[in-house]
Amino acid sequence: MENTTSNTTDREIFISRTINAPVALVWEVWTKPEHIANWWGPDGFTNTITVMDVQPGGQWNLVMHSPDGTDYQNKSVFKEVVPHKKIVLQHFNPNFTATIQFEEQGDKTHLNWHMLFESEEVFMAVVKAHKADEGLKQNVEKLVAYLQGLK
Amino acid sequence: MKARRDVYQAIADPTRRAIINMIATEPHNVNAIAQKFDITRQAISLHIQILIDCGLIAVKQQGRDRLCEAQLDQLSEVSMWVDQYRQHFEKKLDAMETYIEKLKKERDGKHNK
C-alpha cells in the first residue's frame, strides 16, 4: 500500500535567498572549482575538486576532508546547465537531484535551491546522519567565521 | 540488550510507513492491516509491535478486535531534524555570501589601484 501520488514533500528540501551580487558573480562562484572549493562543505572541512565539468553530462567529483582526517567522496553529474539561469545535477550516494535556479534582479540575484531525494528512506538516512553529527552546527559556524577572517 | 526504539526506527521501514499511512486516517484492526500486505501475518505483527514500542501506535481492545490507532505527535520530532538539515544548507549559502563579499572587496581593491 505505498503512496502512489506524486507528492514529494516528504523527501525534498527547498531553500531560497536573495544574494547581494550580480548573477554573473553568483554563477561564477557556483561553477568555478577554485571558487566553490572556498565555501562548499561543512566547516573545518577542506575541499579538493578533482573534476568539475560544468556542462550537461559533465562530472563533478569532489573530496571533502574532515578535520579528523576522514575523506568524503562526492560524485555528481550535471544534467542541465543554462548559463546564469539554471543548474540541475544528480548527486550519487546519497541519491538526490539538486536544481539551482538563478534569477537576475538588477544587481542582485535570487537563488532557488531545491533538493529532491530519490526516496524517503534515503532522505531520512541523510537526516539521521546529520542528527548523529552533534558538532555539525558549530562546525559550519566556524567555517563562516574563517571565511570572514580571510582577506 | 534492548533494541533501539524511537520514531526513526519506526519510520525506517517502508512497510511500517505504509501501516502508519493506512491507520493515520482511521484506526484499523490487526487483521485488516495484515490483509493489505503481501507478507506474513507474523511479519505484520512484528512491525505493529515495533510501532507500538516506538509509540506511534496505540492498541485498543474493541470486542474481539485489537484496534490500532496512529499516535502521530512524535513525528514532529522528525520534522524538527529535517529543519536542522535544511539549516545545514542555509549555512552553505551563508558561507557563499560571505565568500562573495570577500571576492567583491578583492576585485574592487584591484580596480582602485
Domain borders along chain A are 11-149
Segment A78-88 shows an average pLDDT of 98
**Are B61 and B23 found together in one domain?**
yes
pLDDT value of residue B50: 92
Instruction: Name every chain A residue with its beta carbon within 8 A of the beta carbon of B108.
Output: none
pLDDT value of residue B112: 58
- On average, the pLDDT of chain A sits at 81
**Are B26 and B79 found together in one domain?**
no
Assess if residue B1 is contained within a domain. no
Assess if residue B2 is contained within a domain. no
Residue B6 in this model has a pLDDT that exceeds 50 = yes
Range B21-51 burial, b when 16+ CB lie within 10 A, else e = ebbeeebbbbeebbeebeeeeeebeebbebb
pTM for this model (two decimals): 0.66
Q: Which three cell numbers stand for residue B54?
A: 516506538
Into how many domains does chain B fold?
2
Judge: A147–B37 Cβ closer than 8 Å, yes or no: no
**Are B54 and B81 found together in one domain?**
no
CA distance A13 to chain B (A): 7
Residues A10, A3: contact at Cβ < 8 Å?
no
**Are B66 and B12 found together in one domain?**
yes
**Residue range of the domain that includes B97:** 74-113
Q: Is B80 on the interface with A (CB under 8 A)?
A: no
Segment B77-102 shows an average pLDDT of 85
pLDDT band at A11 (very low <50, low <70, confident <90, very high): confident
In sequence order, the β-bridge partners of residue A89 are: A78, A98
Q: Is B17 on the interface with A (CB under 8 A)?
A: yes
Q: Which superfamily does A11-149 belong to?
A: START domain (3.30.530.20)
ipTM over 0.95: no
Q: Return d(Cα B37, Cα B111) in angstroms, integer.
A: 69
Assess if residue B31 is contained within a domain. yes
- Chain A residues within 8 A (CB-CB) of chain B? 1-3, 13, 15, 17, 19-21, 25-26, 29-30, 35, 38-40, 42, 111, 113, 115, 120-121, 124, 126-128, 130-131, 136-137, 140-141, 143-144, 147-148, 150-151
Q: Return d(Cα B97, Cα A26) in angstroms, integer.
A: 9
pLDDT band at A135 (very low <50, low <70, confident <90, very high): very low
**Are B59 and B87 found together in one domain?**
no
CATH number at residue B50: 1.10.10.10
Using a 10 angstrom Cβ sphere, with 0-12 exposed, 13-18 middle and 19 or more buried, the burial of residue A124 is buried
pLDDT value of residue B29: 92
